[in-house]
Structure 1
């Protein structure tokens, strides 16, 4: 058992991959708690898919891919906001229009690039190919995001639970919402190397959903969702090494397995616990 854990760590690329995966998944897990509570899961998907044209344009122009991804992530958020304010369309409709359009633009731009190997990694992730420099970049972005989330967690939580009350006590609800959206774009860029554009939405939704089933308080939910993300990252990286499978896919499946266990066995909301509670009253009446 010890050999199974230690053997992969003999290789520098595995050390980098494990560190990058854990950092990005833990940060995604933290933000996931707010996205689930605020009903922003579709917004996470929108930002994740909308950054593709920014990545391709950055590749063509020879600038850092993260810059293009971040700019287009913010552009997607701005477009969704403008459509919501200038039309009577519902929010999920505007989100669907923006992210599908930008993702399609990214696919068209990709088709014009002769060498697409590197861009394919953006779609599906390439955490095993991360360098030490990539690790430092992910660590820096993750630290900034986590620090802001922790410092402003009380304000963000008030906005998530009751925007009217938050506004009544003087909190700048619009500014805080904007900061959360910027952090969402930043977190998506952080997770690009690990999961790619297509799978990153899973890291922004599944950990928070799992924690929601397991705990009552938001503080506990925040810790559990980060832990679920980190544990899924560790399991996925090791699985990809020993079984030679897709790292991003393995990470998402590990997170899904945790969600399934919570769905079945959660003491508060699990299927088994609910069935047991329904059964007990009938047993009491019969007695």
Structure 2
């Protein structure tokens, strides 16, 4: 009935805009200490194992962590009622704090977006440097693009690069650890140091990282590598998301055949 539909809409809106306090906690969300929004960073990480590594490696003063469990809902394919039934989506919206931007007239009363309520200066997507990690990263970006594109337009969204390789050089009691984020960097490091004195290890995922490595490579503002997600042409961006996550299987196959070679170094084929 109309009355039940209205009640459902009000409940969803309340859920999306609810404050986070002792009575309304978000499962597994780890907050930071500072209340200064200009300093606060939210790391959206892949799974419980990455949550543990990030929690131990972070600076708890200004870095908070929100884990996602596996691959979240594809927000490009789903309608709004389905999206807002997803606990992880509504939890993410609540943690971000700024509400959502609804585009369709049938659901526009759920639109509650207010950038001034965003709880973070940086929203950082942090996933493993493998195929699954890249897929999860794309799904999170699609969620933000669908529900709160202003965050991208305002330069609030970032991707944390994680290293593909850890290279340890040992010589006469000296030990030095270096990190390579791609095949080219790996080759450059191995040119500088004798291969027989180097130990090379491919990343097993963020959950396997020691806290010191996590801080140095992914969380330390001085040494980490962040990619800022910048807005492009909106129509072209939507077409790219549709190509990667939509139903156009023939187009996706053509894209892989044409451009797949550009991404070969990202594959773990060992």
Q: Shorter-chain TM-score category?
A: under 0.3
Using CA pairs under 8 Å that are at least 6 residues apart, name the structure with larger relative contact order, 1 or 2: 1
TM-score (norm 1): 0.25
Q: Identify, as 1 or 2, the structure richer in helix.
A: 1
Q: Identify, as 1 or 2, the structure richer in strand.
A: 2
